[in-house]
Amino acid sequence: MQLHEYTISELSSLISKKEISILELTQHMLGRIEKLDSELGCYISIVEDQAMEQAAKVQKMLDKGILTSPLTGIPMGIKDNICTEGILTSCGSKMLSNFVPPYNAHVVKKLYNSGSVLLGKLNMDEYAMGSSTESSYFKKTRNPWDTERVPGGSSGGSAAAVVAGEAIYSLGSDTGGSIRQPASFCGCVGLKPTYGLISRFGLVSYASSLDQIGPLTKTVTDCALVLNAIAGHDPMDLTSSRRIHPDYTKALINDVKGMKIGLPREFIDDSVEKNIRDAILNAVKVFTDLGAECVEISIPVMEYVVPTYYIIALAEASSNLARYDGVKFGYRASNPKDILDFCKRTRSEGFGTEVKRRILLGTYVLSSGYYDAYYKKALKARAIITREFNKAFEQCDIIIGPVSPTTAYKIGEKINDPIQMYMEDIFTVPVNIAGLPAMSIPCGLDNNSLPIGLQLLGKRFDEQTIIKTAYTFEQNTEFHNLRPNLNV
């Protein structure tokens, strides 16, 4: 087995036993990127020099016993909408193609402090707006299972890098499924934590009330390890929770006996590809065979989740993206006639089509005369959807279902049909609307040998139940060991 194939927990043990050095591991990972990334396009920036320096520094601190985190020396990648001091943070956009932040995001600080080694910044849909990573200004990321296909998005680079062994783990962000859907398309573990569990400081905002940072890993154990490192209150983000988070590795228990697993009728209807439905029903069988009880439930508001999500997300986005006017940072138009021309041209030239579409829609739903019909109504719908999920959780401990109605599709296949793309977010967006935690784990392959994701939805701040259920599934199946054949 090669170093990039190991999990965090395995590498951590090799490092602490001094069987491998952090420099050696980092070097190996950089070599792997060098070999693969021209084809896969996971990274926007690779920080080779910084990675080697950091590796050397961390090794010294480890040797002195100063650093003892399970993440010490583990090479990782970070989605390019999470600010890294001194390193380009482009959001996959021309607009920020020259933006080097003078600060680290809260999560980046935490990962650096734990001794994790940054390899580079990962590709994404422009401003996290998309579900195929095709809208990146820089490049397309290819799905490691089939390079003709998309890796999902918007954290497509984050998912593909983990699966291809170009990073041991990565961070992504999830506003409407942007961690879970690429995790499902690429076949890794992706967690969207409860809104407020992780500081958003330094995450370039798309939709503030929905955005959340989360880990993408090979296994549930790795997910718990990364979550431990990045969770917790941050005084710089007033929407981050003050509650003390538990040690998530304590939830790595192989036992679902007596658990009530909710399966919403609406999650396995005909809109879902048959292969996926079968895989979900197989997962149900795995759980019931282990002594869990499957409860059929219903979430009648599902038909409203996509419009509700898009109204709220785009309204917030239209305001969050107003700061990109060329005045203070990022791209600026040249030779403007006047300030209005400057601002207009900067935004017209700096933003891509999908971003412009979303800004326009968001501006529209907030406009006077339309606010009540759209935004205000969406807020009401949000309250109702949240209530529906809370009610559903009265009948079960966890809800399961698909992540996406389809597996990875061909590059270019859906890019011209935004409505179709939006509709496929149906199973991921309610989680963000209600602020819940949810995870995607591999649960099979379809007829084209493409990974299928199983989604596990938990109660607010109950990541533990998700971790326990997912861990049990992993311990009793082999899906997490499936890897694409990359011919290298």
Three-state DSSP state, 443: strand
Tokens of 169: 């783990």
> What is the secondary structure of 53-100 as a DSSP string?
HHHHHHHHHHHTTS---TTTT-EEEEETTB-BTTB---TTSSTTTT--
Task: Look up 57 and say whether it is catalytic.
Answer: no
Q: Which is nearer to another protein, 76 or 315 (CB)?
A: 315
Only one of the segments 109-117, 160-168, 237-245, 271-279 lies at the binding site for another protein (rule: CB under 8 A); that segment is 237-245
Which residues are CB-neighbours of 251 under 8 A, at least 6 positions away?
A: 224, 463, 464, 465, 467, 468, 471
Alpha helix (H) residue ranges in 232-376 = 274-289, 302-320, 339-350, 353-366
Distance CA 117, CA 126 (A): 25
Q: Applying CB under 8 A, does 477 fall inside the site for another protein?
A: no
Q: Applying CB under 8 A, does 323 fall inside the site for another protein?
A: yes
Least spacing, CB of residue 362 vs another protein, in Å: 9
Torsion region of 133: left, alpha or beta (phi above 0 gives left; psi -120 to 50 gives alpha) = left
Q: Which is nearer to another protein, 253 or 383 (CB)?
A: 383
Q: Under a CB-based contact definition with an 8 Å cutoff, are residues 23 and 55 in contact?
A: yes
Q: Applying CB under 8 A, does 1 fall inside the site for another protein?
A: no
- Amino acid identity of residue 386, one-letter, is T
Task: Look up 318 and say whether it is catalytic.
Answer: no
Least spacing, CB of residue 154 vs another protein, in Å: 16
Q: Which is nearer to another protein, 108 or 268 (CB)?
A: 108
Q: Which is nearer to another protein, 45 or 59 (CB)?
A: 45
Only one of the segments 69-77, 156-164, 316-324, 456-464 lies at the binding site for another protein (rule: CB under 8 A); that segment is 316-324
Least spacing, CB of residue 361 vs another protein, in Å: 13
Residues 82-141 that bind another protein (CB under 8 A): 82-83, 89, 91, 96, 99, 101-103, 105
Q: Which is nearer to another protein, 289 or 341 (CB)?
A: 341
Max CA distance (Å), the chain: 71
Only one of the segments 53-61, 257-265, 290-298, 319-327 lies at the binding site for another protein (rule: CB under 8 A); that segment is 319-327
Q: Applying CB under 8 A, does 367 fall inside the site for another protein?
A: yes
Q: Applying CB under 8 A, does 329 fall inside the site for another protein?
A: yes
Tokens of 70: 């399970």
Classify strands 260-264 and 293-297 as parallel, antiparallel or unpaired: parallel
Residue 464 to residues 91, 392, 455, 459, Cα–Cα distance (Å): 31, 18, 15, 10
Q: What angle do CA 71, 73, 77 make, to 5 degrees?
A: 75
User: In 3D, which of 141, 138, 183 has the Cα closest to residue 162?
Assistant: 183
Catalytic pick from 12, 69, 79, 114?
79
Q: Applying CB under 8 A, does 232 fall inside the site for another protein?
A: no
- x-or-dash string of contact with another protein, 375-414, rule CB under 8 A: x---------------------------------------
Residues 201-220 that bind another protein (CB under 8 A): 201-205, 207-209
Task: Look up 155 and say whether it is catalytic.
Answer: no
- x-or-dash string of contact with another protein, 417-456, rule CB under 8 A: ----------------------------------------
Three-state DSSP state, 442: strand
Q: Under a CB-based contact definition with an 8 Å cutoff, are residues 279 and 273 in contact?
A: no
Q: Applying CB under 8 A, does 298 fall inside the site for another protein?
A: no
The tokens 């006996």 sit on which residue? Answer: 257
Q: Applying CB under 8 A, does 371 fall inside the site for another protein?
A: yes
Residues that bind another protein (CB under 8 A): 81-83, 89, 91, 96, 99, 101-103, 105, 200-205, 207-209, 235-239, 315-316, 318-319, 321-325, 327-330, 339, 343, 363, 366-368, 371, 375
Q: Show which residues are catalytic.
A: 79, 154, 178
